[in-house]
Amino acid sequence: MSKMVMTKKGKIADLRSAEEIKAERRKGRTGVYLVVPGMLVLFLFFALPVIVLLSMSLYARPEGAEIGEFVPALEFGNYVTVLSAYWSELVRSFGFALIATVLALLIGYPMAYLVAVRLRQHGLLQGILLVLLIAPFFSSFILRTQAWKQILADEGWVAQTLKLIAVLPADGHLTATPFAVVAGLTYNFLPFMVLPIYANLGRLDTRLLEASGDLYASPMTSFFKVTLPLSAPGVFAGTLLTFIPAAGDYVNAALLGNNRNTTMIGQVIDSRFFKVIDYPGAAALSFILMLSILILVTLYIRRFGTKELM
């Protein structure tokens, strides 16, 4: 609360006592104290590891050194080496992530719309569906991905049905294909798409849809002219929350893919770190992945972003 008044001379006088001013400064400092623990955690577990990773990515392997032995250096060549060796996995990762994001949007939007808008008057049903939506989080990510292996197995009903209607050749497989990996990614990240859209559509003022109908818009037109544009922030958040982790994912590719045409960049980093023990290479790839996502996301925000996120 400020106690400023205009004096006769037209100057602004501060009528607060010295104690009050001190109290206000203390309040200001309290804010700073509250931020410190968070900053400390961020520094220890985010900033510091990033710095370590960055320096590691520039380490060099001396002639005749043992496996896993590296010396500090400024070996920028590491980046060139890994990029030229693994650019196709990088591109594939973004390709898979993009397809999975689009599929998750196409599947997730109607789900979110059903629960948030259509079932608004049916609290119980809405609650049940919402729980079902979140329920997968209660079981392990790995386990759920393994389950997809069973669903898509040659003996499974999906593959059998597809063979029956001749979409899949008689000797075809679903597992160990790019299809299986993308399906897994789509499934695993679907809730991240649905929940932000659901939260957004939950706030949709359906009176606007009545107004749009009143102004000669068919339900379809109302959707594309009113509902969809108004839910753009939710779609935007959902696509980012799906695309970013999907691009860096390696579990789906490892469990549902093969060794030929499904390898994603996450797998490469994993094997560089833990199998080949090429720390600088793995660190460099991690950085490339991080930077590429950053660039893509920035471009995306620039193009479609809403003010709230900028």
Partner 1 sequence: MSTNTAQTSRKPTVPPRSEGADLELKGITKRFAEFIAVKDLDLTVPSGTFFALLGPSGCGKSTTLRMIAGLDAPSEGEILIGGKNVTSLPSHQREVNTVFQSYALFPHMTVLENVAFGLKRKKDKKAMEKAREGLKMVELDHLANRRPEQLSGGQQQRVALARALVNRPQVLLLDEPLGALDMKLRRQMQFELKAIQTEVGLTFIHVTHDQEEAMTMADVVAVMNEGRIEQMGAPRDLYELPKTAFVANFLGKSNLMRAHVVGQQEGLIEAQAAGCKVLVPVERAVQHEGDIVIGVRPEKLHLHREAPQESTGYNELSGQVIDVSFTGTTTEYLIEVPGIGRIGTFSQNRGQQPAQMGDTVYLSWDSAHSFGLAGDEVVDAGVDQT
- Report long-range pairs for 45-53 (Cβ below 8 Å, ≥24 apart): 53/283, 53/286, 53/287
Residue of 22, 48, 205, 298 that binds partner 1 (CB under 8 A): 205
Decide whether 161 or 218 has the Cβ nearer to partner 1.
218
Quick note: the x/- pattern for partner 1 over 83-122, rule CB under 8 A, is: ----------------------------------------
230 binds partner 1 (CB under 8 A): yes
Size of the site for partner 1 (CB under 8 A): 18
DSSP for 177-215, written as a single string: SHHHHHHHHHHHHHHHHHHHHHHHHTT--HHHHHHHHHT
Question: How far apart, in whole angstroms, are the C-alpha atoms of residue 109 and residue 194?
Answer: 6
What is the Cβ-side half-sphere exposure of residue 271, based on CA atoms within 13 angstroms? 12
Stretch that binds partner 1, among 42-50, 70-78, 206-214, 272-280 (CB under 8 A): 206-214
Straight-line distance from the first to the last Cα atom of the chain, in angstroms, rounded to the nearest whole number: 31
216 binds partner 1 (CB under 8 A): yes
H helix or E strand, kind and range, residue 263 = none
213 binds partner 1 (CB under 8 A): yes
Decide whether 188 or 231 has the Cβ nearer to partner 1.
231
Question: Cβ neighbours of residue 281 under 8 Å, at least 6 residues apart?
Answer: 78, 81, 82, 272
Residue of 214, 275, 308, 310 that binds partner 1 (CB under 8 A): 214
Stretch that binds partner 1, among 86-94, 124-132, 176-184, 220-228 (CB under 8 A): 220-228
Residues that bind partner 1 (CB under 8 A): 205, 207-208, 210-219, 221, 225-226, 229-230
